[in-house]
Chain A
Amino acid sequence: MHERDIDRRTFVRSTGATAGALALAGCAGFGADDSDENGADDSTGDDELPTPAFPEVEDPPDAVYLPTHRESMRVLEPVEAGDYTLAPMLSYPHPFWLVTGSGGEDGVQRVDPEQSGGVHLMFVVWDEETNVVLPVDTGAEIAVSLDGERVGSPQSAWPMISQEMGFHFGDNVPLEEEGTYAIEVEIPPLSVRTTGDLEGRFTESATATFEFEYDREFMLEVTDGVEYLDEAEWGEPGALEPMAHGAHADDEHGDGDGDDGDHDHDGDGHGDEHDHGDHDHHAAIPYSALPPAEAYPGTHLEPVDDSNESSSRDDGGPEADDLPRSGDAAFVATLLESDSRLADGEDYYVLVSPRTPYNRVPLADMSLRAAVERDGETVTDDATLEQTIDGEYDLHYGTSLADVRSGDSVAIQIESPPQVARHQGYETAFLEMPPIELRVP
């Protein structure tokens, strides 16, 4: 167990009082034209809807930190589309952060909802056969309809990471009125290298459609479900547990109060432990957790003393603590022998798997390079590590190398941090990412 894992029941107890007050801090009405014109204080009139507050965390660390609250959402029935399976989730519109480029100040943009009416639409896409969540920006396209009429223009879904949901796609979608909305998601072919059981799959685009009711009941449900953490915890290093993916696809909001199974998800919760549930008739939704470091074969590369962040940290839980870090991301790096199915011919294969430090969420859409030195001489200069999704090792960056041996030093250069949008608690981490110096033991 990670010592930093959060016992959610504690938060429920300690924040019960504040949650109610904060949750009613904002209001939204349907058909805003005839409301809020009287200059009165925000009130919760019959046609107005509460939206949860989104408190600021002052001076958050440049690392993964505990956000102010656990989000609440409605989880819909998973939909199959071609090779893909997709689980839609809906919450209230809320801020998130976009990342563009180097992760410098200008490249990180907080996005606030333009209006309070609407939803934060999310979906997790995975492969039913391997339960691997597909964590890369494929350019999924969303079209919204109300009563058969298109609403607004099509939009691309942002790839995002959140502590509770791991990797998913999403965006705030403004909705003007109550009704039954249909969402069409077109997922193009996967553009990254696939290996193992995923090889040769996801080559066709597929379209999934689902419907949901957007009404007062929905807004109340997702608002009531928000759980605020004790303010003293806000901004502290740490992460919320992955949400309970018992998360049953029905009207019960998936993030209820200390119901079942949270303990299943705080330790070694790789995807395959979440499924084939004994829960009920609903398919379980995998959480995008990578395998723990010890699940990777080969010769694990070791941090060179004092060169990485890992040695100065002691708050990352036992596993992450042993791993080299950069920008608070933990890196599993291993050298597979030439008999590995991932290696070309007689070459070795360097597999680098960056992940979030607590929940092992894969960090997708990075650019990495590796250089190998032996006795101060360059052996391999500047090898591109190709983003790959493997049926067993999931998302990683890898390349075949002809010449690498014990004692060599391996430098991993991070050309770009993960170009994925972030929910609160991840937006200050995985941005400035210095190189990692490793050694082949």
Chain B
Amino acid sequence: MTLPDRSALSRRDYLRSLVAVGGASALAACTSEGDDVEIPSGTDDPDSLPERQHAWNDALTRDDDGNVRPPEHHVLVALSLVDDPTDEARERVEAALQELERAYEWSNEGLLFTLGYTPAYFDRFDGSLPDEVDLPEPRAVIGHVDAFDEFDALLHLASDHSQVVLEAEEGLFGEADEFNGQEIETDLMDVFERVDDHRRTGFVGPGLPAEHTDISGVPDSVPEDAPFFMGFRSGFAESQATEDRVTIEDGPFAGATTQHVESMTIQLRTWLEQDSHYQRVAKMFSPEHADEDLTGDIGEALGGSSGLTDERIEATESDARGGVVGHAQKAARAREDGDPLLLRRDFNTVDGDTPGLHFLSLQAGIEEFVRVREAMEGDDLDAPNANNGIRSYIFPNQRGNYLVPPRSLRALPAAAPDEA
């Protein structure tokens, strides 16, 4: 793949493009751009890190409204096993991951990552996953999708620094010699192969989408400050599940979580150029948000909450009868005792040179994702398609389900670890 043209892009846009392209030459280009950046190194003591791989929130910063600030750069590395798992392979995987942890601080300034496994991975074992783990084969859930993640594992790399995600990825696969200046001793190459067709990348943060207006399909009208393509903040503290809530509590995989990745393209031209701000707010949040102008331009007026009171959530059906219903309002119907079920770690993408979203969600079981996703879709509601939240603007095309085991079982776990 050819590298982006440095002279045609802003520095940030160039770095983002390098992450999307990937590979050793992208890493080299990225490193020469980032010479002045000091990346904090990690720890020699693996036990000092949380047992949950998905324990990221305490390692991230928060904005003034208390919302967790996700890392800017993301890579999802799709992995396929070279051979069936052995104890030797397990040791190798664990050693390689510990090298990452030694090289990079467990934070947005360093590197956060998880390694999750598909149902297809677990199928090779004689035993089956324990009852506490709800990890079905992926299915369409709503509408149809073209592809499912049927490879074995997914490594999610996230950092505020583009060269960190690239270096980590390339170093694990023999394309770099050092992790943050430390020589690499163990890589993943004899254990995993990368599945390049399914490599996915993305970014999140204020202004980032607006830097992608060179991509066909991203109109100039993406708001300057918007952290997401659709123009609004997301991940409000109050609409996010806690890490505790999405953690599997019992059984051999206690401390694990399940992960769903839904990849989609977004129709930004119609959303940003045709709908008015009023209509976008009504469709994204609720008609009451639009009528009472609760969001501000990009959702900043909402602070740390999506502004969904019980009344607004309960009004979903009657709002739909009134012609338009909001995406957030619909999704919130699936809350349990007021608590959201999903911890979203989604990010925007221009993979395939098309604006899109990798909707990465953590939850205690996949069934909870399905329940929320169906509530989000709102097939039960009377609103016509175009005014039924944002469903007429998003086009899911790929899905995968994963188990993200606890750190102690992250290296090629058996389906029934107790028996292994």
Contacts and interface: CB of A to CB of B under 8 A. Distances in A.
B270 A155 contact: yes
B386 A159 contact: yes
A13 B287 CA distance: 48
A141 B146 CA distance: 14
Given A101-B282, A102-B323, A154 B267 contact: yes
A398 to B, nearest CB: 15
B355 interface: yes
A100 B354 contact: no
Given A114-B269, A155-B269, A101 B385 contact: no
B274 interface: yes
Interface string A99-118: 11111001101010010000
Contact of A156 (B216, B279, B356, B386): B386
Interface string B236-280: 000000000000000000000000000001111110011110110
B323 A416 contact: yes
Interface string A361-392: 00011010000000000000000000000000
B241 to A, nearest CB: 29
B324 A158 contact: no
B235 interface: no
Contact of A109 (B143, B269, B279, B393): B279
Contact of A114 (B219, B275, B279): B219
Interface stretch (A131-139, A288-296, A337-345): A131-139
B395 interface: yes
Contacts of B265: 153-154
A419 B287 CA distance: 14
Contact of B384 (A102, A174, A365, A415): A365
Interface in A61-120: 98-103, 106-107, 109, 111, 114
Contacts of A188: 143
Nearest to A417: B323
Contact of B321 (A109, A111, A141, A416): A416
A13 B278 CA distance: 43
B274 A109 contact: yes
Interface in B322-356: 322-324, 354-356
B387 interface: yes
Interface in A119-166: 136-139, 141, 150-156, 158-159
Nearest to A369: B321
A416 B322 CA distance: 5
Contact of B267 (A109, A156, A191): A156
B269 A153 contact: yes
A419 B384 contact: yes
Given A153-B269, A156-B385, A367 B275 contact: no
A101 B322 contact: yes
Contacts, number: 112
A114 B279 CA distance: 18
Given A100-B282, A138-B385, A419-B384, A153 B217 contact: yes
A153 to B, nearest CB: 5
Contacts of B216: 151-152
A299 interface: no
Contact of B355 (A100, A114, A153, A158): A153
A153 B266 contact: yes
Interface string B216-235: 11010000000000000000
Contacts of A205: 144
Contacts of A159: 384, 386
Contacts of B282: 100-101, 107
Given A107-B279, A153-B354, A419-B387, A98 B274 contact: yes
Chain B: number of interface residues, binned into ranges = 35 or more
B324 A100 contact: yes
A266 interface: no
Contacts of A171: 270
A109 B219 contact: no
Chain A: number of interface residues, binned into ranges = 35 or more
A174 B216 CA distance: 11
B91 interface: no
A408 B283 CA distance: 39
B57 interface: no
A364 B375 CA distance: 24
A419 B320 CA distance: 11
Contacts of A137: 384-386
A345 B12 CA distance: 67
Contacts of B283: 100
Nearest to A155: B267
A419 B274 contact: no
B300 interface: no
Contacts of A106: 276, 278-279, 290-291
Contacts of A107: 278-279, 282, 323-324
Contacts of B279: 98, 100, 106-107, 109
B278 A114 contact: no
Nearest to A173: B269
Contacts of B387: 100-101, 419
A430 B267 CA distance: 28
Given A100-B387, A154-B395, A174 B287 contact: no
B384 A101 contact: no
A430 to B, nearest CB: 12
A200 to B, nearest CB: 19
Given A98-B279, A107-B278, 4 more contacts: A98-B275, A106-B276, A156-B385, A419-B323
Q: Which 4 A-B pairs have the closest CB atoms?
A: A416-B323, A156-B392, A139-B385, A137-B384
27 contacts: A98-B279, A100-B279, A100-B324, A100-B387, A101-B282, A101-B287, A101-B322, A101-B387, A103-B323, A106-B278, A106-B279, A107-B324, A111-B273, A139-B385, A139-B386, A150-B354, A152-B269, A153-B217, A153-B266, A154-B267, A155-B269, A155-B270, A156-B386, A158-B386, A367-B323, A416-B323, A419-B386
